Structure 1
Amino acid sequence: MRTDRLVAVLLLLQQREQVTAAEVARELEVSERTARRDLDALAMAGVPVYATQGRGGGWRLVGGARTDLSGLTASEARALFLVAGPASAATPEVKAALRKLV
């Protein structure tokens, strides 16, 4: 679902200083074209995201903008990480949930 992907992209942008469309595509298991469309959709929706072109370019949030979509406290999120176990053995659903917690 596109809404889920847009939230996931926003969470990736908050987690990392900068992401490329290729990184988003790999992380969300979509094509680079879909990742670019999702990043553009966030910008069109008013999310303060911008692209820098060229070598070392990518997508960033303006001024480190943040939003708390989880509603969890930091200690609650840490407890869920412990319960989920290692991310390397996780299913795609668990990986998506862990990404949201970060």
Structure 2
Amino acid sequence: MSAPFRIALAGLGTVGVGVIRLLERNAALIAERAGRPIAVVAVSARDRRRDRGIDIGRFRWHDDATALAERKDVDAVVELIGGADGPALALAKATLSAGKPFVTAN
């Protein structure tokens, strides 16, 4: 199988944590259908210490979400922050300027 498609995820609220859980729970099916695994490699959220019910220590953490777009080991950025301006807009601009795919739930 091919190398994983590596994503960075901004926003670790209910939706962000749900995305991580779904990707993990359905990893084999997703890899089969996509032709390669999908791996979350980096994350960003407002509060690193908040209990989210999952281990976020296994992901590379960024306090500034726009730093996710600059990572060489990220193929695409998923924005689950919310809002049409502020950090969400800055992340969208940074990701697209870096020439990477950008996915938003908003």
> Structure 1 length normalisation: TM-score?
0.28
Larger radius of gyration: 1
Task: Please identify which structure carries the higher helix content.
Answer: 1
